[in-house]
Structure 1
C-alpha cells in the first residue's frame, strides 16, 4: 500500500526556463507543513468528475485517499488513481507531470505513474486533474532501500538524466549552484546547535564543515540535465528494500547531475549511494570529477534542513541520512 507523501522544506515551481537560472540572494524561511487542501476534494466530487469526463471508468471503484504536499490521490480500481492538485500553487506541478513525463519517458524501464487521462475543472473543483497508473509498493521513507538496490537506482537516474531542453523548468530549490545553498544550511545548523537526534546523538559540526567545503571546492558540473528534482524517500518506491519505482514528477527541472544522486542519502545506506553512483557513471559514461563531492553536499544540506522540521517521516529520513554521511559526533557523551 502507498504511504502518505510528505514534502520537503520548500516547494519548487515549474515556470522559468533553465536559461534564467540565477543564484538566490536571500534565505527563505522553511515551510512549517503542508497547506490545507481545497474543500471541494471529496469522494463525491472525484466520482462526479470521473463519471462526467471519463464515463468508461464509471464501473471502477473509487478507493482510499492519499494526501501529499501538493496532490491528493484517490485509488480508482486496481490499476489507476485520480490525481488532483490540493492548492492552486500545485497546478503547475500537475501540468509539468502531464507535459514532460510522457515526452521524456519512452526509454525508461523502471516503474513510474503514466498519465492515462487529463481532466478539467468541474463539480466545484477549480483546477485541472489527471488519471494516472497506480504503481504499487511502499515508499522508501518508511521502508528504506537496501544497499543492494543501489545499482538499479543509479541506472534509473541515468535514464532520467538526458540533456535538459530550453523549456526545462527552473526549480528554485534545486536548479541553483552549490554556493546558493549555504544560507539555508547555515540557518539550519544554527537551529540544531543544541539539538539531539532520535537516539540522543549530536551533529559533528567540524565534519559537516569539511564535507561542505569539499562540495564548494569541487569542480562545477558542466551539464544541466532533466532531473526529478525531488527524489527523496517519499517519492521512491520500495519492495521490501528493493527499488520498485519513482513517483511524484511535478518538480521536474533542469539541474546539476548531483541533485538527484544527492537525494539518495534519504533513501538508502551510504554503500547503496556509492553503488548507485558507480552504476550511473557506467550507464552514462559521464566524466565529472566533482560529482561525488557535490552530491554529498546536496545530500548533507537536504538532511540538515529536514532535521529542523517537526514531521516524523522527514525527521526519520534526515537522521538516517546524517548517520550515513558520517556527520554524527562520535564522542561518548554525544
Structure 2
C-alpha cells in the first residue's frame, strides 16, 4: 500500500512539472470580430464565407509558411468571431455569391484580451448600376432621395444638390422603391421594377426625372388606347386604311414614351369564313407594318395580333343580315397598351 501511494505521488509531481512547459508551447489567443459589409449599401452581409490562413516567415527571409486555420460564415449581423494569436499575420479571403472576392490581411500586433479586436471588410457587389436624374425643386427648398432594395431591404439615401440632381448606386436583379422627399412640397414613392433595369449597365444609368405637380398619365398597361377622333378603320374588306392619321399619332406617342408597348389588334367583319378573315388580317398586318416602318418606329415597341371576327362590335355576327355600313364598323384596328404609361390629350379642332 505504501509503495502504491509513493508511486502516485511521484507520478503527480512529474506531471505537475510538465504542465507549465506544455502550456508555454500553446500560445494564448484573443477573440477577434471580422465585420463583413456591403460596399454599395453600407449594410451587413449575411452568409459570407471567410477563409483564414496564418502566415509566418520565422525571420529567415524565405517565403512565408502558411497554415490554414479554417473557413467561417458571417451571421445575420455580418460578423465572424475567431480566435487569433497576438503578434501574427493572417490572410483573409472573403467570398459571397453576387460579390467580388476580396483578399485582405490582418496583423494582430496590438491585439489583446482587454481590447475589442476587430477587422472590417467591405465587399463590392457585382452588377452595380446608377439610378440618377433631376427633381425640380422650388427655390430655397431641400430634398433627398432614398432607394430601397425590395429583396434585401438595404437602403441608401442621398441629399439632392442645389439643382435637384441625384446619382445613387443600385444592384441589378431586384425591384426598388425610390422615395422622393422635398420639404413642404412632395413626399412620394416611385416603383422601379427589375425589368426596367434590364438594359441598364455600369456605363448606361437608369434615368428618372421628376417634376412635382406634373400632369399624371391617363393611359396605363391594360388600357385600350381609344382614339375616338381618329379613323382606325379599313376600307370595306380590303387592306387599305381609311386614314393614316392614327399611325402618325401612335408613332409620336411611342417615340415620346420609349417604355410604352402597344398591341395592335386587327379585326374583320363576319361576312366570310374564319380562314378567309385571317388571310385578310394577314394582308392588313403587312400594310400596318410597312406604314410604321416608314415612320421609323421600332418593332420592339409594338406587336400585332390577328383577331379576325373574334370581337364584333355590333349585332352583325355570322348569320345576321346587316348593311355594308354596319359591317364596316368591324373592319378596324384597336390598340391595347401592354406596358408602360403615358399622358395623351386629343386635339379638339
Q: TM-score, normalised by structure 1?
A: 0.23
Q: TM-score, normalised by structure 2?
A: 0.23
Which one has more relative contact order, counting CA pairs under 8 Å at least 6 apart? 1
Give the number of the structure whose alpha-carbon radius of gyration is greater: 2
